[in-house]
Amino acid sequence: MIWEKLIQCKDNIVALLDQHCVEYQEDGMHKFNNTGWINRTWRNDNVRRAHIDVVDARDTKGLWMMHVCLFPELTNGGPIYGFDVIAGKNKVTGAFHDFSPLLNKQHALTQWFVDSAKSYQPSKARELPDWAKAIFSGGMIAAGNIQEEQELTQVCNMAENNLNHYLQHIGDYKNDSSREDVISAQNYYCEHQMKNPHTPRVMLSLGLPEDLVKIFVAENLFPKV
């Protein structure tokens, strides 16, 4: 049930990106696409980079992982959309979702997310490290040990509905900020994401080659402008 729901969630997210954006081939990304590891990127006038990264290691490691991240264009001071999930056969070990603010911690789109996130109370909340607290919103969802179908359905629906809202409204903030300020803020976000020690550890545990994981994490997962 868990993998089936998450794969459907992935398909729904891809459909939303196809609806609102145009897929493109990012330089150097081809080497991270192979059996069980898929990386795809999209963009439009308001989103400079939408990235979905899926590792399907169900047969080899009994695990499945998805990472989704959208950056606004460089004159848009809106937040970054993020959704990450990793799951075994019987439970989701981690689910993380946020509209991470950049220039304005009280940005209207982030505040919308914080208000909408109040409807979800994880059965097991996960504590955030300092590097994460520096970039995520106060409403950031960090859940673990999701086993019940109802809770997983709520998480998936929230990630999909919030993505749809984000894609429809991120353009409302076009040209509201200077390019220099947005670049600095997005790079700050990427620098802090790079401090996450769990990312390469999880990818290696999924059976991905160590040499490719190092390059991917350093250059392609959260590339600075």
HEC string of 80-127 equals EEEEEEEECCCCEEEEEEEEECCCCCCCHHHHHHHHHHCCCCCCCECC
Between 64 and 199, the higher pLDDT residue: 64
This prediction's pTM: 0.96
Determine the topology of domain 2-220 in CATH: oxygen-dependent coproporphyrinogen oxidase (3.40.1500)
Beta bridge partners of residue 83, listed in sequence order: 68, 97
Q: Tell me: pLDDT of 205 over 90.
A: no
Q: What is the C-alpha separation between 91 and 93, in angstroms, rounded?
A: 6
Check residue 135 and give its pLDDT.
Answer: 96
The values of phi and psi at residue 62, to 5°, are 70, 30
Q: What is the chain's alpha carbon radius of gyration, rounded to the nearest angstrom?
A: 16
In the chain, the amino acid numbered 66 is: M
Lowest mean pLDDT among 80-89, 166-175, 202-211: 202-211
Residues whose CB is less than 8 angstroms from the CB of residue 82 and which lie 6 or more positions away in sequence, other chains included: 68, 69, 70, 96, 97, 98, 99, 100
Q: What is the C-alpha separation between 66 and 95, in angstroms, rounded?
A: 10
- The single residue listed with the structure tokens 């200077």 is 178
- Taking only the tens place, the pLDDT of each residue in 10-48 is 999 999 999 999 999 999 898 899 888 999 999 999 999
Check residue 207 and give its pLDDT.
Answer: 86
Tell me the average pLDDT across 177-194: 96
Q: Which tokens in the block code for residue 137?
A: 């919103």
- Taking only the tens place, the pLDDT of each residue in 60-83 is 999 999 999 999 999 999 999 999
Cβ-contact 94, 114 below 8 angstroms:
no
> What share of the chain in percent tops pLDDT 70?
100
